[in-house]
């Protein structure tokens, strides 16, 4: 029993942290009896009142997935010092982060972290966070597609390979992202949340009954490869201590809580529960393999999923194997679908598309999943490393948003130190990591350590300086007045600039493909037409997308028609087996031309846009049939195949702009 002292004390600190420090956090925020968005904006899709126990389990599974398992096992390679980070990181940082991001969102009608950044940090921060959040969410969704798909491929016949399971999981994501939150998420997630807790309880029981030894607490770095504890351990553990991904998930549950006074149980409580799970797996990993070296070898040879399966079956036998399979398959899938759901909600805020109508949900969901399908072709380990860093960077930004909120709304400015201190700490972690990591700048500790500290100190100095100048907002600024009371209403006025930016990116990609491949085939010359097409779109943008420009649109459609005909002919000429897919894609491009020419028919464009999205999603799945490509060939292939997607994005953005213009002008829009 002596070998479990560190683990038992860690559990005690987390429990005490919930009741003592959690109460302090709650007192600073001061929840009251106002009506929550679950009732004020109930729409039967995203805004729905949930029982507290269900909201807690949904929040736990949303923020957890396999994060507290994989992250904790990799963090345990540094030794028992990881216990300290999990404990104090979650009590002082992660729990505060999740509670504040969820409750501030609740006071702004479930607004995303990107919208909250705009309210409290300015318009530039809002757009930066919109882009950063969507990238993180798509990365998260992709990470949680590839790991369960790989394990399912190992457990099923060879005919059901990884590509098959990726398609199946993405198909499930379509349903989970589109359907009302109480249809799949509200029914299945509490069950899988209970499984996650049961897995941790089983591993803890296996440690005790099996007589395994958990190393006692030491501050020594025991990583077999000598990887520095600072900042790598603080990024590697991720969800087990603090995670910016949680800031994208908490607003989703903020739309469902019945009372503000339940926030500590749902948000702070779920974070500390996740930390308990992380503690168990960190202890179980080192105990099962005997030392950090054995754990590191297992992770390297078996992968994260394989190590989890090994530990579960070794400690719990066949029952553990079943739990492990459910845990490492179901849990990441559930986190992935909520990631895409959150991305859809952020894009809905940008485009102002009412998500009550399923067509509007399809318009956003399908291209998101298409991008995810493409990203599944990247190496999982690379994806995880970038996910971990962007995860902690988003946590840093979210804590600074909460700090600005407290400065503007709390009677005592000193209360903002509750979030400013962990925000400063995470600023140092994030900057030091990206400077030192191989996937970052790869600099030495002599440069990374002081640079990270200077960056964090500079942000804290800005906080002190500006904090004295901030005027406290009046109470109505945080009432339920539509969620964005002090934001400008017509963000779509910036849409022409965004369309031009996307068009320029597509044009540059097209030029790269042309230069790389040369002008050796007829199909290569067709890309010149694409360049002309982009030029016309840009000219169209200069003139103003809100104007008809009939002749311009006719030229666009003519160019697209020639491109379609030439593309199909070249594919048939080569007897390419993929020509039906190419044809479907080119038909989608032609439909985009029709879409551009019918901008004034907004109610019809919804159906056309859904058709276009489906066709391009089929084309994205074609990427999955070329897993053997690598290096320059893979880059060229992806650039080539992404070209129609950029063409589609330009016209889809034009459509969004026209949709917003119609709504502002009070013109009829389908379904309204």
Of the candidates 408, 427, 446, which is a domain's last residue? 427
Task: Note whether residue 71 is domain-resident.
Answer: yes
671: number of Cβ within 10 Å? 12
Q: Are 516 and 421 found together in one domain?
A: no
Low-confidence stretches of the chain (pLDDT < 50) are 1-2, 474-490, 545-546, 548-550, 573-575, 597, 599, 624-625, 627, 629-631, 668-672
Do 273 and 397 belong to one domain? yes
- Distance from C-alpha of 529 to C-alpha of 533, rounded to nearest angstrom: 6
Can you give the pLDDT at residue 269? 93
Residues 308 and 169 in one domain: yes
Q: Which residues contact 166 (CB under 8 A, 6 or more apart)?
A: 145, 146, 149, 373, 376, 624
Question: How much is the pLDDT for 383?
Answer: 60
Residues whose CB falls within 8 Å of the CB of residue 300, separated by 6 or more in sequence, listed in order = none
Answer whether 591's CB lies under 8 Å from 613's CB. no
Question: Where is the domain boundary, 427, 456, 491?
Answer: 427
- How far apart (Å, rounded) are the C-alpha atoms in residues 389 and 577? 41
Residue 464 resides in a domain: no
| Cβ–Cβ under 8 Å, residues 244 and 397 | yes
Residue 538 and residue 409 in one domain: no
- Answer yes or no: is 463 within a domain: no
Q: Model pTM?
A: 0.71
107 part of a folded domain: yes
Going 166 to 572 to 640 to 610, the CA torsion angle's sign is: negative
Would you state the pLDDT for residue 484?
A: 39
In this structure, the answer to whether residues 354 and 249 fall within a common structural domain is: yes
Domain count, the chain: 2
Q: How far is CA 427 from CA 139, 161, 598, in A?
A: 21, 41, 48
- 177 and 315 belong to one structural domain: yes
Tracing tokens 């398992």 back to the chain, one arrives at 69
Residue that is last in its domain, among 427, 448, 473: 427
Task: With beta carbons less than 8 A apart as the criterion, state whether 371 and 138 touch.
Answer: yes
- Whole-Å CA distances, 52 to 44, 209, 262, 490: 18, 34, 7, 36
Pair (276, 392) in one structural domain: yes
Asked, for residue 435, whether it belongs to a domain, the answer is: no
389 and 532 together in one domain: no
Q: Are residues 241 and 387 in the same domain?
A: yes
Nearest to 244 by CA among 355, 352, 156, 117: 117
Would residue 432 count as lying in a domain? no
The pLDDT assigned to 290 comes to 82
List CB contacts of 259: < 8 A, sequence separation 6 or more.
Answer: 31, 33, 36
Q: Are residues 154 and 298 in the same domain?
A: yes
pLDDT tens digits, 180-198: 766 776 677 777 777 778 8
Whether residues 414 and 529 share a domain: the answer is no
Hey, CA dihedral for 176, 179, 184, 190, is it positive or negative?
positive
What CATH number did the domain enclosing 58 receive?
1.20.1740.10
pLDDT digits (tens, 9 = 90+) for 529-575: 667 767 776 666 555 544 544 455 556 556 666 666 665 565 554 44
Domain contains 442: no
pLDDT, residue 146, reads 74
Q: What residue numbers bound the domain in which 602 lies?
A: 501-665
In this predicted structure, what is the pLDDT of residue 258?
A: 92
Domain match, 199 and 321 both: yes
610 occurs within a structural domain: yes
Could you tell me which of 623, 61, 10 has the C-alpha nearest to residue 377?
623
What pLDDT was estimated at residue 488?
Answer: 41
CB 308, CB 327: distance < 8 Å: yes
């Amino acid at each position: 029993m002596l070998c479990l002292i560190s683990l038992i004390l860690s559990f005690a600190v987390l429990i005490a942290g919930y009741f003592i420090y959690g109460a302090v956090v709650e007192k600073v925020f001061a929840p009251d009896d106002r009506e929550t968005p679950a009732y004020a904006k109930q729409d039967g899709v995203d805004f729905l009142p949930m029982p507290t126990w269900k909201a807690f389990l949904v929040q736990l599974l949303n923020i957890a997935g396999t994060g507290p398992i994989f992250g904790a096992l990799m963090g345990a390679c540094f030794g028992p010092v990881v216990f300290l980070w999990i404990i104090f990181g979650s009590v002082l940082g992660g729990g505060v982060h999740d509670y504040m991001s969820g409750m501030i969102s609740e006071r702004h009608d479930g607004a995303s972290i990107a919208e909250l950044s705009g309210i409290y940090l300015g318009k530039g921060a809002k757009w930066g966070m919109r882009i950063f959040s969507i990238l993180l969410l798509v990365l998260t969704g992709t990470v949680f597609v590839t790991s369960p798909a790989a394990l399912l491929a190992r457990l099923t016949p060879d005919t059901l390979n990884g590509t098959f399971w990726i398609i199946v999981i993405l198909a499930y994501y379509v349903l989970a992202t589109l359907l009302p939150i109480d249809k799949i998420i509200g029914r299945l997630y509490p069950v899988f949340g209970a499984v996650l807790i049961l897995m941790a309880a089983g591993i803890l029981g296996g440690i005790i009954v099996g007589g395994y030894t958990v190393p006692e607490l030491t501050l020594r770095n025991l990583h077999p490869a000598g990887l520095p504890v600072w900042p790598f351990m603080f990024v590697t553990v991720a969800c087990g201590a603090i995670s910016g991904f949680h800031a994208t998930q908490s607003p989703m549950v903020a739309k469902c809580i019945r009372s503000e006074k339940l926030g500590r149980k749902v948000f702070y409580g779920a974070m500390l529960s996740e930390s308990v799970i992380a503690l168990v797996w960190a202890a179980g990993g080192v105990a099962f393999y005997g030392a950090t070296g054995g754990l590191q070898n297992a992770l390297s040879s078996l992968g994260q999923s394989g190590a989890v399966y090994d530990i579960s079956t070794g400690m719990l036998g066949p029952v553990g194997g079943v739990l492990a399979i459910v845990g490492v398959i179901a849990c990441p899938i559930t986190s992935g679908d909520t990631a895409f759901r959150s991305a859809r909600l952020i894009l809905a805020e940008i485009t102002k598309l009412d998500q009550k109508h399923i067509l509007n949900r399809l318009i956003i969901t399908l291209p998101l999943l298409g991008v995810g399908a493409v990203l599944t072709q990247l190496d999982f380990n690379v994806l995880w490393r970038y996910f971990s860093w962007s995860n902690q960077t988003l946590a840093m930004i979210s804590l600074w948003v909460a700090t600005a909120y407290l400065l503007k709304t709390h009677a005592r400015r000193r209360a903002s130190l509750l979030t400013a201190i962990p925000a400063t700490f995470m600023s140092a972690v994030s900057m030091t990591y990206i400077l030192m990591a191989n996937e970052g700048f790869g600099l030495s500790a002599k440069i990374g350590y002081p640079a990270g500290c200077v960056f964090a100190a500079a942000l804290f100095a800005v906080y002190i300086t500006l904090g004295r100048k901030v005027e406290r907002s009046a109470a109505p600024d945080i009432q339920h007045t539509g969620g964005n009371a002090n934001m400008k209403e017509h963000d779509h006025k910036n849409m022409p600039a965004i369309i031009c930016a996307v068009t320029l990116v597509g044009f540059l990609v097209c030029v790269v493909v042309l230069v790389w491949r040369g002008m050796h085939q007829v199909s290569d010359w067709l890309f010149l037409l694409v360049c002309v097409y982009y030029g016309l779109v840009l000219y169209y943008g200069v003139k103003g997308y809100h104007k008809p420009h009939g002749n311009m649109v006719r030229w666009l459609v003519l160019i697209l028609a020639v491109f379609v005909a030439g593309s199909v002919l070249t594919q048939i000429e080569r007897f390419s087996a993929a020509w039906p897919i190419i044809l479907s894609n080119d038909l989608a491009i032609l439909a985009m031309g029709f879409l551009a020419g019918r901008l004034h028919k907004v109610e019809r464009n919804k159906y056309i846009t859904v058709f276009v999205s489906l066709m391009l999603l089929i084309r994205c799945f074609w990427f999955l049939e070329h897993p053997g490509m690598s290096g320059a060939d893979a880059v060229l292939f992806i650039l080539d195949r992404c070209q129609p997607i950029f063409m589609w994005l330009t016209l889809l953005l034009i459509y969004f702009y026209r949709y917003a213009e119609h709504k502002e002008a009070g013109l009829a829009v389908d379904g309204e």
